[in-house]
Amino acid sequence: MAREDLISKKELLELTSISYGQLYRWKRKDLIPEDWFIRKSTFTGQETFFPKEDILNRIKKIQNMKENLSLDEMADMFSPKLDKLVLSREELLGKELISEAVMSFFIKNTKKYDDSFSLKEIFALYIIESLLQSGDISLEEGKMVLEVALLADIQQHDRLIVLRKLGVTTCLLAEGDTIFEKTVKVVADVSLPSVNEELKTKLI
């Protein structure tokens, strides 16, 4: 979920053979998220960079679809009404978004018995999948993180943070910058908007 690998606007336009005008038209049409346009200071002044993998994948999709779909139709696809999205266990496993082990963990700890998963549940599953697979948290800590992740609202919260102090772990939702005392170890700091964009890309 990290976005440390960036590509400059100049490199992007050269690599994809698109024009400045196309890029910003797609931005105005919400085909490319606003937060992918990252302004950074360089020795030549301010430049715009993008998360490399995300932007290249998105432009490839746009170029593949633009012959058959209008910009408005593509915008609907890239910003679907995900709040009404429901997927089955088989669909989630089939898309390889969630592993069988994490699915079983989720079902056991939420006591979920039906086979339909809402966007909020998929969002929480996706976060837990990443943290457990990376080894950042234990299964026991995962129970706490899962409870908090199910409460996450990207309209209100920017980050899900897992903290550890003197062997005791806690999890919280935060907005904006957060400062902790030196004895607190930040185990995980998850950008919820980034997870949301990443998940949308994989669901469409």
**Tokens representing residue 202 in the block:** 């994989």
Sign of the four-CA dihedral 18, 12, 96, 156:
negative
In this structure, are residues 160 and 171 in contact, taking their beta carbons and an 8 Å threshold? yes
Question: CB within 8 A of 95, min separation 6: which ones?
Answer: 87, 202, 203
Output the pLDDT for position 16: 94
122 & 182 share domain: yes
**Tokens representing residue 47 in the block:** 């430049």
Local structure of residue 166 (DSSP, 8 states): T
- 60, 78, 96 — which closes off a domain? 78
- 27, 53, 78 — which closes off a domain? 78
Q: Is residue 1 part of a domain?
A: no
74 & 95 share domain: no
Q: Is residue 182 part of a domain?
A: yes
Distance (Å) of CA 175 to CA 23, 79, 114, 172, 202: 30, 23, 33, 10, 25
Local structure of residue 156 (DSSP, 8 states): T
- Domain span including residue 58: 6-78
**Tokens representing residue 96 in the block:** 């390889």
Distance (Å) of CA 171 to CA 14, 90, 112, 176, 187: 43, 30, 22, 16, 10
Output the pLDDT for position 3: 41
pTM of the model: 0.60
State the CATH number of the domain containing residue 15. 1.10.1660.10
90 & 64 share domain: no
Backbone φ and ψ of 70, nearest 5°: -80, 170
- 37, 63, 78 — which closes off a domain? 78
36 & 62 share domain: yes
State whether residue 188 is helix, strand or coil: strand
Question: CB within 8 A of 195, min separation 6: which ones?
Answer: 1, 123, 126, 127, 130
61 & 139 share domain: no
Q: Is residue 56 part of a domain?
A: yes
55 & 15 share domain: yes
**Tokens representing residue 3 in the block:** 């976005």
Task: List for the chain the helix, strand, coil content (%; round to 5).
Answer: 50, 20, 30
Low-confidence ranges of the chain (pLDDT < 70): 1-4, 77-84, 155, 204
* pLDDT tens, position by position, 97-118: 899 999 999 999 999 888 889 8
Output the pLDDT for position 1: 39
Q: Which residue has the tokens 């908007």?
A: 193
* pLDDT tens, position by position, 113-154: 888 898 889 999 999 999 999 998 999 999 999 999 999 887
Q: Is residue 146 part of a domain?
A: yes
State whether residue 11 is helix, strand or coil: helix
Sign of the four-CA dihedral 17, 28, 72, 36:
positive
